[in-house]
Chains A and B, each alone.
Chain A
């Protein structure tokens, strides 16, 4: 009955006060969401984004970091809406990886 993200009132340990500086990649995810949801494009809504994160399921909370959940959710919505295809994304991910590896050699 209670979904995994709906956690108000559940038991948990102490709040870890440690903070990290946001990495360029994390900011990039935030930027992608802002650009997609902003009024110039309105390709996604805040509500769709939240719902997509909720639909990632309990495993996502345990296994994925905050921004991993964000980019997974966004990617799912973009595929759902036909903005990008699975094939395109797969091909692009391979290309990105290859480029990095080349640069490191």
Chain B
């Protein structure tokens, strides 16, 4: 068990270190998210669609789309010099490799979200009030789910010619349940609704996370097993 965690942390640390070396991907992802926010502001008719009404949708679309496009790099970097073979050759569990990649992707996407949230508050004039804690929790739960699926699909997509198209095509249907949940929760939080109304959605998000993280951990070895 401790070997499993040790390997996962080593893989995670390595991914973060590689990312940290160039930082291009992270900055680009944050810039992308910021641009999406800006575009949303103009892609509406101010008379009919108020910023407040659109805010939850805008936030979550921005978070999920910026998250997804950032996921391809996690396996693209293994492809460059055939590094993936080096990982697969080692006497370590393939699920541990997946866990490491998943954690590194989570760190990446959380960073993008953390940088984007203040911009969102700024651009959309949102009064978070006491809702910040709830929104952060929602972000953690929703992100944990779609990054799990996104990580395994990144491993799949990287072997195709149009990985940048294939990954979103595969992942987007999987975004729907977490997206619905996240927007519902955020709308209620911003309106100051009591937590009891929202608890059900949190449970769905948590269930989604549990199911898909477990499933991906179990399926990854089969994916790698030629």
Real binding pair:
no
A contact residues vs B (CB 8 Å cutoff): none
Q: Which residues of B contact A (CB under 8 A)?
A: none
